[in-house]
Structure 1
Amino acid sequence: MTMVDDTRGTGDVSADVALAADLADLRHALQDHPFPASQDDLIAACLARHEPTRLACRLSRLPRERRYATLDELLDDVAAVAALPAPR
């Protein structure tokens, strides 16, 4: 009988689910925020709204000098940065 390792990707699935939830939460939290906006503006908005700290953590991985023209542009960048290895 051949055994198949079906555990591959298990961590990736939970990370994908967490990212999807955070993107939805960021969309809701920042839907009325004026754009263009910088990383600092966006983190401050989340903190002022008492959003979960994990959202500010997601935003903290973005480039500080970048200004986001739209919410969709921001969320695309959050997703792209999430795919990169975590900084050490």
Structure 2
Amino acid sequence: STFIPDWLKTPGMAAGKICAFYDDPIKIATDGSAMRSSIYAKRITTETGMEWRLRRLRNNTARQLMILGRKIRRRGELPAPSAA
């Protein structure tokens, strides 16, 4: 954090130090992004509407296709069984 060195230069945590931290534009943007991600994660897990059901279906299908692709790729990397 860019604020920690400034905090340690002087004793205590005055209101100005705390306000500067919470007013930082990067922190505000990061907090907004985190909140949007959190709300989306909750909604995709708990909502029952058609839109959310389709999103879950899309995500689960994509996940299964990735797993299948990895299995196929691994199978291609394995040496062929030798005839003994």
TM-score by length of 1: 0.33
Q: Which has the higher helix share?
A: 2
TM-score by length of 2: 0.34
Q: Which has the higher strand share?
A: 1
Larger radius of gyration: 2
